[in-house]
């Protein structure tokens, strides 16, 4: 066998090896992508607010890192959502418009008003932070800041916006906006009641477990204010 023929065979052999290696690389990449989006389809079925168990991953390497970043994002959202929801479960706020609190903190209601104003401010800040998760620009910036190559960031972007995760997330926005309006109404309504009682401090008193007003008109005004927040 001549040297030239040996060289030709060697070259063909190398080409075959390269074809096999690159073929395996691209086939494996395709398989990993399919597995990734199969996992993503399970992630879209999760309730992103309630406590959940993240689906078991079927990928490895940086594909797994993509899923880890998705999980981190959703858990961060879940934590912020729970924080916002907790404002509607404020037992102290519920007691501010009680006879016991009227006796304890009235007629100026300095502590009660300060508490409501502080909670209202904190709620608005936390609500604004939560609403960021529904903003596509915020999500894209999150993806951009991840320590991933452009290829994996592209997969992350596809998983979020084309495979259902963002749509599932965005479907919750309207409920939170409704809750936000309701809680804001409670804060404002509670302040209206307390400022009303402060303005008419000489026209009401506590008898037994009831508040008594000096005129029927004041009774009606008080009841009207209270009815707006219950």
User: What is the per-residue pLDDT for 53?
Assistant: 73
Q: Where in the chain are the domains?
A: 1-89+135-170, 91-121+172-230
Listing DSSP states for 73-128 in one string gives HHHHHHHHHHHHHHGGG-HHHHHTTSHHHHHHHTTT-HHHHHHHHHHHHHHHHHHH
Per-residue pLDDT tens for 50-98? 766 778 888 888 999 999 999 999 999 999 999 999 999 999 998 999 9
28 falls in which pLDDT band (50, 70, 90)? low
More confident residue, 1 or 39: 39
Contact 58, 39 (CB under 8 A): yes
At 12, list the tokens: 């063909």
Q: Report the pLDDT averaged over residues 4-12.
A: 51
Residue 188 has pLDDT above 90, yes or no: yes
Cβ density class 71-108: b for 16+ within 10 Å, e for less: eebbeebbebbeebeebeebeebeebbeeebbeebbee
The pLDDT, as a whole number, for residue 24 is: 39
Could you read off the pLDDT of 104-151 as tens digits, one per residue? 999 999 999 999 999 999 999 999 999 999 999 999 999 999 999 999
Q: What is the structure's pLDDT at 1?
A: 55
Is the per-residue pLDDT at 189 higher than 90? yes
The model's pLDDT over 176-187, given as tens digits with 9 standing for 90+, comes to 999 999 999 999
């Amino acid at each position: 066998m001549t040297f030239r023929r040996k060289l030709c065979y060697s070259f063909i052999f190398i080409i075959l090896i390269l074809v096999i290696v690159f073929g395996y690389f691209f086939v494996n990449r395709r398989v990993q992508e399919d597995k990734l989006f199969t996992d993503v389809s399970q992630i879209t079925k999760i309730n992103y607010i309630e406590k959940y168990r993240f689906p078991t991953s079927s990928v490895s390497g940086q594909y797994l890192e993509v899923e880890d970043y998705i999980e981190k994002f959703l858990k961060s959202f879940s934590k912020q959502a729970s924080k916002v929801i907790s404002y509607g479960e404020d037992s102290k706020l519920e007691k501010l418009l009680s006879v016991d609190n009227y006796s304890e903190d009235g007629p100026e209601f300095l502590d009660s008003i300060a508490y409501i104003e502080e909670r209202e401010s904190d709620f608005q800040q936390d609500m604004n932070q939560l609403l960021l998760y529904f903003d596509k620009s915020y999500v894209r910036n999150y993806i951009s800041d991840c320590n991933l190559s452009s290829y994996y960031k592209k997969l992350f972007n596809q998983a979020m916006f084309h495979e259902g995760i963002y749509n599932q997330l965005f479907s919750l926005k309207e409920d939170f906006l409704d809750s936000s309006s309701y809680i804001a109404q409670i804060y404002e309504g509670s302040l209206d009641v307390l400022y009303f009682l402060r303005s008419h401090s000489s026209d009401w008193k506590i008898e037994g477990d009831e508040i008594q007003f000096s005129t029927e008109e004041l009774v009606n005004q008080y009841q009207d204010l209270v009815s707006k927040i219950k």
